[in-house]
Chain A
Amino acid sequence: MKSPAFDYARPTTLPEAVSLLTSCEGEAKLLAGGQSLVPLLAFRLAAPTLLVDLNSLSELRYIRIEDDGVRLGAMVRWRQIEDDARLARAHPLLVTALKHVAHYQIRNRGTIGGSLAHADPAAELPGIVVTCEAEIMAIGAAGQRRISAADFFLGPLTTALKPEEIIVELHLPPWPAQRRWGFEEFSRRRGDFALAAAALYYDVLPDGKACNSHVGVMGVGDRPQRLAQVEAMLNGRLIDGDTIAQAEHAAAAAVNPADDIHASAAYRRALVGTLVGRALKRAAT
């Protein structure tokens, strides 16, 4: 359980970090909070020649709440989000979901950029990012680019980032105060990865019917996914008991989980239905 040997650099500017990455031709890894990467090193599932430590880039630690949404610098730690009282109003779904992320000690170190780049299919932040159609800003030798959440997660621990690119910012679209939302997760122990989780929101038309429904699930596929069938079913309807029961069935039918050591496929499928139902109930009340 000791990491393979690697070199180490702690750049103090972003361009320096990019050039370090570029010079290693894909053999370097970025170290943000280290809460996922260091275990991968300990298990020798990763063996980079160079670790580029981003912890001196304090310019990536900002939380900005603006008219066009919430902007989080890539090195924002979970603890910072927890401690920022403004976010509960600016993005309640994000704040509620992130309460489920990991344990106390890990929350003091783990970063949002690290979670996105790690791309665990059961992780909360990637699920929220996909559900909310957020954008991820990355910088590389060729300059900056925006990557939409739908295009970012390609599979387990796999993203659209190029080897020499660094995530610099997460941008979540604005959150209307009247929006209805819910987040539900089930894990064996609080703070562990979800066996399954559901994040959803919708806006309400003057006649009380739902529109702009977004329903995302985590832990039931190779990446977080939205359930288009459930969203289509919810739009234009009152979110009452009947609708919620139908949405539960539709959600369970829409996912295709696999058996694994933690739960059978049938269990996870049923769980997704239950969690979507509970999240909708919470959203509607």
Chain B
Amino acid sequence: MSIPVRFEVNGKRVAIEVEPRLTLADCLRHHLRLTGTHVGCEHGVCGACTVLVDGDAVRACLMLAVQADGAKVVTIEGLSHDAHLTPLQAAFRRHHALQCGFCTPGMITTAHALLSQEPHCDAARVREVLSGNLCRCTGYVAIVEAVLAARADYQKNNGPGA
């Protein structure tokens, strides 16, 4: 069984046929070659595959590609530019908020959703939200600092976007 699906990824329209069992994460990586979305646990525990669906952070391994029909999906590729670092990326670099980098796409997408929706969130809220994203290198302190530091840019003019 193959099902036609149409959705938008990082502003571009996509129309493909997928097997129902294909997860959105695998669809993004294998069919659309957007390999910035990392797949860690494949059962909704690690948060590495977090993407935005209609503005909300979701686990792409727990959503089927067929369910994205009609949705606007934004991946880590959609939250970066070739020319310069976004405020969130710059804050991650400044605060040494990554080491191996495997969890980083999920951290950035999650933090972007949080700061877009709650630009005045406090450290406790940042920690609560990031508890859904596993990082085995940094110990989180630097990640929380980076997200807090990026708040200022999201508080201006309703957020910096990507």
Contact = CB atoms under 8 A, between A and B. Distances in A.
Interface string B11-42: 00000000111010010000000000000001
B79 to A, nearest CB: 15
Interface stretch (B81-89, B96-104, B127-135, B141-149): B127-135
B64 A34 contact: yes
Given A3-B21, A42-B42, 20 more contacts: A1-B43, A2-B21, A2-B26, A5-B1, A5-B20, A5-B21, A8-B3, A35-B44, A35-B59, A39-B62, A42-B61, A79-B56, A104-B129, A105-B50, A105-B132, A108-B58, A109-B59, A189-B131, A191-B131, A191-B132
Contacts of B47: 103, 105
B133 to A, nearest CB: 8
Contacts of A31: 64, 67
Contacts of B23: 3, 38
**Per DSSP, are chain A's interface residues mostly helix, strand or loop, or mixed?**
loop
Interface in B100-116: 110, 114
A41 interface: yes
B66 interface: yes
A190 B132 CA distance: 9
B131 A6 contact: no
Contacts of A189: 131
Contacts of B67: 31, 34, 53, 55
A262 to B, nearest CB: 15
B21 A109 contact: no
B132 A38 contact: no
B63 interface: yes
Sort A-B residue pairs by CB-CB distance and give the 3 closest, nearest first: A103-B132, A8-B20, A39-B43
25 contacts: A5-B20, A5-B21, A7-B20, A8-B64, A10-B66, A31-B67, A34-B64, A35-B62, A38-B64, A39-B62, A53-B66, A55-B67, A102-B132, A103-B47, A103-B132, A105-B59, A105-B110, A105-B132, A106-B44, A106-B59, A106-B62, A108-B57, A108-B58, A109-B58, A191-B132
Interface of B: 1, 3, 19-21, 23, 26, 42-44, 47, 50, 56-59, 61-64, 66-67, 110, 114, 128-129, 131-132
A53 B57 CA distance: 20
Contacts of B114: 104
A104 B132 contact: yes
For chain A, give the interface size range. 20 to 34
A34 B23 CA distance: 11
A132 B56 CA distance: 31
Among B59, B62, B129: residue with most chain A CB under 10 A:
B62
A51 interface: yes
Contacts of A79: 56
Given A51-B20, A104-B110, A189-B131, A34 B63 contact: yes
Contacts of A102: 132
